[in-house]
């Protein structure tokens, strides 16, 4: 008997256009309704059709949010899947697929034959193969068949009764075949279910961030599509009527950021969404935002570069890009969510900081985070009340009035009697161009002085484990929160703890003391240790080791655990 319990890794593999995302979306939805914790992440080729793509779905007893190398069940939909994933396949992996396709050209192929072509012929259309595949998994898991049927009725209701019934028939065929496989192969799945999970929200990173943007009161987006940042533009476009959002697909990235700056100048709350390559073109606009003190929020979905790089893979290598984007000196803030809940909150915080301090603010995500799907309780979403810092101007209004905290009252044209001037040249308090050395110093120091208030409002990092008594602290930022949390659980060693930063610039001053007399290790997806370097610059601390990965994949839990064990030995803890 092959028993599976507590934590199952199920991987679906095939080429683009074979319905893998449909299977993923249906499976995670039904399994969540069954009361299982699910976490799904995907990797895919940068092409419309073909290639070899895969989606990993973890089905667990406890909440997890990270990627594992191990594959327990592999659904191979074509011959390229096994060679593509061979480094993750072991003798314990159960592979299912249509043998004549999957084993083509090989003499030894341990695959449980699933006659997808026969099923498709019986159903009259290959489009039902996806539903058959979902049914097979649910049959093997002995899931609630009635719940599966209810889901199919809801999902396909808009397509008419015939489509609904055909999918139910397809699901039934798959479900029965899955039970047959489990019986014949001696497969037993024992996962505890949690009724509370049924009511949780199930969304991906794009939707979590998009909901946070809506909660922030955003009413304008101007972007030029670029993976993986396009999902936010798509999400807001889907909800534009409900929330009154102006959608502006600009002709290029230069226009996109300038349109959004113009929108803020006119009183809107705007965002730009792009990827690193698109943001390259926006940097002059960032400088413009800096000197005219008009807010802007920029979301960057990171992917490996330089240039086109690996356009559909993941990396955390754009931190330096946003830290130093734009010429000259001006304050900024950078956020990087580690969970879907953080994405919802940080989007609101980004708009709050941008509006209050009239600066450019960046939200850094990555392909892995944006495409990851998980469930969580709705009550874990933290909502801020949107604050609008626009004032009604008087006749003697000065747009760049010198103030002790560096924040000049921000008016918008047409609201009050004042003239709301701006100037990208150096200017005086009335926004008139000047080359006065005295005024230059005053105005420059006014702008730079805002960083003090921004730092005082910086979000504290999350402590994972007993940070104060640990001998080694592992630091993560952005999408690596889940893998750090789970790796520490596996290690189960009180000498090691973790600290996760969701605000990566500026850093809160008081946090520095956490790292005194500790071995500090930084975990990040880039080759040069960008956040480790920032920690050294901001805190002046010594980084004992960096755990880096830059092959386009997220960290596996297994490889992080292995590195932790090596460091324990190397550091002689």
**Distance from first CA to last CA of the chain, Å, rounded?**
41
- Please write the tens of the pLDDT for every residue from 420-477: 999 999 999 999 999 999 999 999 999 999 999 999 999 999 999 999 999 999 999 9
SS3 5: strand
Residue 101 has what pLDDT?
A: 87
Closest CA to 335 of 213, 505, 523: 505
What is each CA distance from 399 to 89, 262, 391, 424, 544, in whole angstroms? 63, 16, 11, 13, 47
Higher-pLDDT residue of 2 and 152 is: 152
d(CA 506, CA 75): 45
Residue among 357, 345, 346 nearest 389 (CA) = 357
The reported pLDDT for the residue numbered 163 is 94
Tens digits of per-residue pLDDT, 355-410? 999 999 999 999 999 999 999 999 999 999 988 999 999 999 999 999 999 999 99
Cα–Cα distance for residue pair 182/141, rounded to 1 Å: 8
* pLDDT confidence tier of residue 117, bands split at 50, 70 and 90: confident
CA proximity to 23, closest of 166, 129, 124, 170: 129
Q: Nearest-CA neighbor of 373 among 200, 152, 199?
A: 200
**Cβ atoms within 10 Å, residue 3:** 9
State whether residue 76 is helix, strand or coil.
strand
Model confidence, pTM: 0.96
Angle at 273 between CA 352 and CA 378, to 5 degrees: 60
- The C-alpha angle 425, 429, 431, rounded to 5 degrees, equals 40
Q: Check residue 87 and give its pLDDT.
A: 94
pLDDT for residue 573: 85
Q: How far apart are CA 557 and CA 455, in angstroms?
A: 33
Greatest extent of the chain over all pairs of C-alpha atoms, in Å? 86
Share of the chain above pLDDT 90, in %: 90
The pLDDT value recorded for residue 240 is 97
Is residue 473 within 8 A of residue 519, CB to CB? The reply is: yes
User: Could you report the per-residue pLDDT of 19-54, keeping only the tens digit for each?
Assistant: 899 999 999 999 999 999 999 999 999 877 778 899
DSSP letters for 497-520: EEEEESEEESPPGGGGGGGTTSEE
């Amino acid at each position: 008997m092959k028993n599976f319990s507590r934590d199952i890794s199920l991987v679906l593999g095939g080429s683009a256009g074979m319905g893998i995302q449909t299977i993923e979306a249906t499976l995670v939805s039904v399994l969540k309704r069954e009361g299982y914790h699910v976490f799904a992440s995907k990797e895919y080729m940068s092409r419309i059709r073909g290639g070899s793509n895969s989606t990993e779905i973890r089905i667990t007893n406890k909440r997890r949010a990270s990627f594992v190398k191990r594959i327990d069940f592999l659904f191979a939909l074509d011959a390229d899947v096994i060679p593509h994933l061979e480094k993750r396949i072991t003798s314990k992996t159960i592979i299912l697929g249509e043998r004549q396709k999957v084993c083509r050209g090989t003499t030894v192929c341990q695959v449980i034959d699933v006659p997808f072509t026969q099923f498709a012929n019986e159903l009259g259309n290959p489009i039902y193969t996806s539903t058959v595949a979902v049914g097979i998994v649910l049959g093997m898991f002995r899931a609630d068949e009635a719940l599966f049927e209810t889901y199919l009725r809801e999902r396909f209701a808009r397509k008419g009764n015939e489509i609904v019934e055909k999918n139910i028939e397809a699901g039934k065929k798959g479900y029965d075949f899955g039970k047959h496989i489990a019986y014949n192969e001696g497969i037993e799945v024992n996962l505890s279910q949690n009724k509370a999970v049924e009511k949780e929200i199930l969304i991906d990173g794009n939707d979590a961030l998009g909901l946070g943007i809506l909660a922030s009161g955003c009413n304008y987006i101007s972007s030029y599509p670029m993976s993986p940042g396009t999902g936010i533009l798509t999400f807001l476009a889907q909800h534009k009527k409900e929330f009154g959002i102006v959608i502006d697909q600009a002709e290029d990235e230069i226009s996109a950021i300038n349109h959004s700056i113009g929108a803020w100048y006119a009183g809107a709350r705007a965002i730009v969404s792009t990827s690193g390559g698109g943001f390259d073109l926006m940097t002059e606009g960032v400088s413009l935002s800096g000197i005219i003190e008009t807010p802007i929020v920029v979301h960057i979905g990171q992917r490996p570069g330089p240039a086109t790089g690996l356009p559909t893979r993941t990396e955390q290598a754009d931190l330096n890009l946003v830290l130093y984007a734009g010429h000259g000196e001006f304050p900024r803030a950078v956020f990087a969510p580690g969970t879907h809940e953080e994405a919802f909150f940080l989007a609101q915080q980004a708009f709050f900081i941008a509006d209050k301090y009239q600066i450019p603010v960046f939200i850094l995500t990555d392909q892995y985070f944006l495409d990851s799907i998980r469930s969580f309780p709705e009550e874990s979403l933290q909502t801020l009340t949107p604050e609008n810092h626009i004032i009604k101007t008087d006749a003697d209004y000065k747009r760049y009035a010198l103030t002790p905290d560096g924040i000049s009252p921000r008016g918008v044209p047409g609201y009050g009697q004042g003239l709301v001037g701006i100037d990208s040249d150096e200017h005086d308090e009335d926004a008139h161009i000047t080359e006065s050395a005295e005024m230059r110093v005053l105005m420059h120091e006014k702008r730079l002085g805002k960083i003090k208030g921004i730092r005082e409002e910086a979000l504290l990092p999350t402590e994972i484990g007993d940070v104060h008594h640990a001998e080694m602290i592992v630091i993560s930022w952005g999408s690596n929160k889940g893998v750090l949390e789970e790796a520490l659980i596996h290690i189960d060693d009180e000498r090691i703890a973790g600290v996760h930063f969701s605000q990566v610039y500026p850093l809160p001053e008081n946090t520095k003391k956490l790292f005194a007399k500790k071995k500090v290790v930084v975990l990040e997806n880039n080759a040069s240790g960008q956040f480790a370097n920032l920690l050294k610059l901001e805190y002046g601390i010594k980084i004992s080791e960096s755990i880096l990965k830059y092959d386009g994949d997220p960290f596996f839990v297994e490889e992080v655990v292995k590195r932790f064990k090596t460091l324990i030995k190397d550091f002689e803890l």
